[in-house]
Amino acid sequence: MPLSEQEQRLLEEMERSLYNNDSDFVTTMNSRRGRPTYTLVVVGILGALAGIAVIVAGVAFRQPLIGVAGFVLLLAGALFAIAPPRRRGNLGPAPVPPPSSTGGSGRAKGSSGGSMMDRLNQRWERRQNPDER
């Protein structure tokens, strides 16, 4: 079911607000985001199945250490299949820039050429006194 126009505007406004107010969180989440590849999922599932086989072998031979090793293999395979791949250095695509908005973010970057701390202080003051815009 598609979103209505009002819901789409509200979603875009929430995204802009997130990018403007919590950019550190957004960059952290963008750097962790990765699409799992089918190869990694298949290898993880095969590892988990091998772990189950080792657990069964440990029970059949009545060797608890083999069963523990099988459980570790099962857990590692499941985590390998579920976890998203991590980017290595700058080899991956560049982080997604925040969406452009016609609001105050464009003016703030253009008008302030100061340090990052100066810009953060200005943004903090604007949040504390919203009626002075």
Task: Tell me the pLDDT tens digit for each residue of 64-118.
Answer: 999 999 999 999 999 988 886 765 554 444 455 555 544 444 444 444 457 888 8
Across the chain, mean pLDDT equals 76
Burial class (CB in 10 A: 0-12, 13-18, 19+), 118: exposed
Taking each continuous run of H as one helix and of E as one strand, the counts in the chain are 6, 0
Q: pTM surpassing 0.75? A: no
The yes-or-no verdict on residue 20 having pLDDT over 50 is yes
